[in-house]
C-alpha cells in the first residue's frame, strides 16, 4: 500500500513514520528541506521537497497510484485545495485532511472530505474535563 | 450592484474605487493591519479588517445577502480559491471572479469550477508569445463557459495551408477560420480566399480539438 504525506510537521511526520513501520510505501512532501529530519534516522520512505499545490511535485511523489493521502501542511486553505486535487484529479480513494478552523472543517466535511479538526477535538475534550470538575465539586 | 472584494492590494483597491465611483455598493476585506489603516482613510466603513477565508469575516461583510459579485484578488491562490468556493457553494453567490497569481495553479481553479479567472502572468506571457515569431498556435482568448477558444495560426511557407483556399483547408470538426490577418489588415475568411505564407489565421476551436488542429496544420 502506498501513502503520500503532504506537510511533514509534527502530525505528518508521526503518521508517515507509523505507516512506514507498518510496511507501507510512504513518500512525504514538505516545502522545507530539513523537514526530512523529523522522519528519524531509519526513514526508508521517499521525500520530495516542494509545495503541495505544485502538480509536478505531487506527480513526482507518486500520487497517481497512491492508496492514501494525508494533507497536513500549516495552511488550512492549502490543505483544502490539495485534498480536493488528490480526490478529484488523482482519484485517490482515501484522503484525510487536517484543518485547524472549525468553521471551514464543518463546511468541507459536508462537502464529503474526510476532515480532522484538532481544534474541535481540543474544545470537546476541554469542555468534558470542565464538566467532570463540576460533577466532582 | 453589491460587490464583495477580498484583498485590498493594488487590484482590489482600484476595482473598489472604480465601482464606488460608478455608484455601486462595495465591501473590501483586507487582513493586514497596515494596509487596512491606509485603506480605511480612503474607504471608511466600506473596508473591513479580517481574513476573508474565515466564514465569520465573510458573514460580517454581508455574504449572506448574497452579493451580486465576489472578487477574490488576494496574493494567495489557495485563499482566492477557498473564498470563491465558499461564496459559490455555501452562500449561492452567482458570479465570482478569482485572481490567479501563479499560472501553475490555474488547473486547480479549473478542476474546482472557479471561473472566470484572471492571471496577469499568463496575460503577459500571451503577449510575449504574440511578439516572438513562432511557428506555433497562439491562444488568444479562452471562453470557458462556451467551451470555445480563439487562436491565432500562422501560415507557414510550404505548410499545408500555404497556397490553399480557406474552403479547401482540412481542419478537424469543431475548428473554423473566422478571419485572416494580412499586412496589418483583417480579411473576412471567405471560402475562396487564398492563403499565403506570412498570413495569420484567426480561428475558433473547441479546446479538446486544439491538438488535432495543430496536427492538421503541421504546427509545432
Domain span at B149: 133-216
Q: Are B146 and B91 in the same domain?
A: no
Where is B125: in which H helix or E strand?
helix B120-131
What is the number of domains present in chain B? Answer: 2
What's the CA gap between B170 and B176, in Å, rounded? Answer: 10
Q: What is the CATH number of the domain that holds B33?
A: 3.40.50.720
Domain A2-136 has CATH 3.40.50.720: yes
Q: Which of A55, A81, A88 sits opposite B81 (nearest CB)?
A: A81
Q: What is the CATH number of the domain that holds B179?
A: 3.30.70.1450
Lowest mean pLDDT among A109-118, B46-55, B56-65, B120-129: B120-129
Q: Are B10 and B98 in the same domain?
A: yes
Suggest the residue from A6, A56, A73, A80 to mutate for an interface test with chain B (most B CBs closer than 10 A).
Answer: A80
Would you list the domain boundaries of chain A? 2-136
Judge if the upstream peptide bond of residue B139 is cis by omega within 30 degrees of 0: no
Q: Are B99 and B145 in the same domain?
A: no
Per-residue 3-state assignment (H helix, E strand, C coil) for chain A: CEEEEECCCHHHHHHHHHHHHCCCEEEEEECCHHHHHHHCCCCCCEEEECCCCCHHHHHHHCHHHCCEEEECCCCHHHHHHHHHHHHHHCCCCEEEEECCCHHHHHHHHHCCCEEECHHHHHHHHHHHHHHHHHHHC
Gyration radius (Cα) of chain A, Å: 16
pLDDT tens digits for range A38-78: 999 989 999 999 999 999 999 999 999 999 999 999 999 99
Give the minimum alpha-carbon distance from B105 to chain A in angstroms, rounded to a whole number.
7
Q: Are B8 and B116 in the same domain?
A: yes
CB atoms < 10 A from the CB of A41, how many?
A: 5
- Decide which of B94, B122, B150 is a domain's last residue: B122
Band of the pLDDT at B134, cuts 50, 70, 90?
Answer: low
Q: Are B118 and B40 in the same domain?
A: yes
Q: Is A101 within 8 Å of B54 when comparing Cβ atoms?
A: yes
pLDDT tens digits for range B154-197: 898 888 899 999 999 989 998 999 999 998 899 999 999 999 99
Band of the pLDDT at B139, cuts 50, 70, 90?
Answer: confident
Q: Are B104 and B144 in the same domain?
A: no
CB contacts, 8 Å: B91 with chain A: none
User: Helices A118-136 and A102-110 meet at what angle, rounded to 10?
Assistant: 120
What are the residues whose beta carbons fall under 8 Å from the beta carbon of B52, sequence distance 6 or more? B6, B7, B29, B31, B58, B61, B72, B74, B79, B83
pLDDT at B220: 67
Band of the pLDDT at A101, cuts 50, 70, 90?
Answer: very high
User: Helices B33-43 and B10-21 meet at what angle, rounded to 10?
Assistant: 10
What's the CA gap between A17 and A13, in Å, rounded? Answer: 6
Suggest the residue from A7, A53, A97, A99 to mutate for an interface test with chain B (most B CBs closer than 10 A).
Answer: A53
Q: Are B212 and B154 in the same domain?
A: yes
Contact A51, B78 (CB under 8 A): no
pLDDT tens digits for range B13-34: 999 999 999 999 999 999 999 9
Q: Is A78 within 8 Å of B78 when comparing Cβ atoms?
A: yes
Contact A16, A8 (CB under 8 A): yes
- Decide which of B122, B150, B173 is a domain's last residue: B122
Q: Are B20 and B89 in the same domain?
A: yes
Give me B32's grid cell. 493586514
Q: Are B95 and B66 in the same domain?
A: yes
Looking at residues B114-132, what average pLDDT do you find? Answer: 85
Give me B60's grid cell. 460580517
pLDDT at B133: 61
CB contacts, 8 Å: A88 with chain B: 111-112
**Percent with pLDDT over 70 in chain B:** 98
Q: Are B211 and B116 in the same domain?
A: no
Residue A5 to residues A20, A82, A88, A95, A115: CA-CA distances in angstroms?
11, 11, 17, 10, 15
Looking at residues B88-100, what average pLDDT do you find? Answer: 97
The answer to whether position B127 is within a domain reads no
Whether the pLDDT of residue A80 is over 90: the answer is: yes
Per-residue 3-state assignment (H helix, E strand, C coil) for A68-96: EEEECCCCHHHHHHHHHHHHHHCCCCEEE
Give me A123's grid cell. 474544545
Mean pLDDT score across all residues of chain A: 96
- Pick the residue from chain A with its C-alpha nearest to B90: A107
Q: Are B115 and B138 in the same domain?
A: no
Q: Which of B76, B86, B108 sits opposite A107 (nearest CB)?
A: B86
Contact B7, B74 (CB under 8 A): yes
The answer to whether position B128 is within a domain reads no
**More confident: B138 or B121:** B121
The answer to whether position B48 is within a domain reads yes
Which conformational region is residue B86 in: left (phi greater than 0), alpha (psi within -120 to 50 degrees), or beta? alpha
What's the CA gap between A10 and A4, in Å, rounded? Answer: 15
Band of the pLDDT at B219, cuts 50, 70, 90?
Answer: confident
Amino acid at each position: 500500500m502506498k501513502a503520500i504525506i503532504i506537510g511533514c510537521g509534527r502530525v505528518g511526520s508521526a503518521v508517515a513514520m507509523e505507516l512506514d513501520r507498518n510496511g507501507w510505501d510512504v513518500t512525504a512532501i514538505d516545502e522545507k528541506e530539513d523537514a526530512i529530519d523529523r522522519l528519524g534516522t531509519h526513514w526508508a520512505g521517499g521525500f520530495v521537497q516542494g509545495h503541495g499545490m505544485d502538480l509536478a511535485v505531487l506527480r513526482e511523489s507518486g500520487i497517481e497510484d497512491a492508496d492514501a493521502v494525508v494533507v497536513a501542511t500549516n495552511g488550512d486553505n492549502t490543505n483544502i485545495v490539495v485534498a480536493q486535487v488528490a480526490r478529484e484529479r488523482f482519484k485517490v480513494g482515501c484522503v484525510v485532511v487536517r484543518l485547524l478552523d472549525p468553521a471551514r472543517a464543518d463546511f468541507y466535511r459536508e462537502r464529503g472530505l474526510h476532515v480532522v479538526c484538532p481544534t474541535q477535538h481540543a474544545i470537546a475534550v476541554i469542555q468534558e474535563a470542565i464538566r467532570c470538575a463540576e460533577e466532582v465539586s | 450592484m453589491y460587490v464583495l472584494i477580498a484583498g485590498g492590494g493594488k487590484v482590489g483597491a482600484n476595482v473598489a474605487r472604480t465601482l464606488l465611483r460608478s455608484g455601486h455598493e462595495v465591501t473590501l476585506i483586507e487582513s493586514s493591519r497596515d494596509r487596512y489603516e491606509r485603506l480605511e482613510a480612503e474607504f471608511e466603513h466600506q473596508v473591513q479588517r479580517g481574513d476573508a477565508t474565515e466564514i465569520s469575516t465573510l458573514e460580517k461583510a454581508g455574504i449572506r445577502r448574497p452579493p451580486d459579485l465576489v472578487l477574490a484578488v488576494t496574493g494567495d491562490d489557495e485563499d482566492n480559491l477557498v473564498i470563491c468556493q465558499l461564496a459559490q457553494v455555501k452562500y449561492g453567490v452567482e458570479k465570482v471572479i478569482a485572481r490567479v497569481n501563479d499560472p501553475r495553479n490555474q488547473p486547480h481553479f479549473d478542476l474546482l469550477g472557479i471561473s472566470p479567472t484572471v492571471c496577469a502572468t499568463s496575460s503577459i506571457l500571451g503577449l510575449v508569445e504574440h511578439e516572438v515569431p513562432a511557428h506555433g498556435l497562439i491562444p488568444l482568448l479562452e471562453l470557458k463557459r462556451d467551451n470555445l477558444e480563439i487562436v491565432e495560426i500562422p501560415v507557414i511557407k510550404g505548410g499545408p495551408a500555404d497556397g490553399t483556399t480557406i474552403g479547401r483547408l482540412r481542419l478537424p470538426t469543431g475548428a473554423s477560420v473566422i478571419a485572416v490577418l494580412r499586412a496589418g489588415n483583417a480579411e473576412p475568411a471567405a471560402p475562396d480566399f487564398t492563403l499565403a505564407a506570412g498570413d495569420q489565421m484567426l480561428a475558433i476551436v473547441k479546446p479538446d480539438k486544439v491538438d488535432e488542429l495543430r496536427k492538421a496544420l503541421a504546427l509545432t
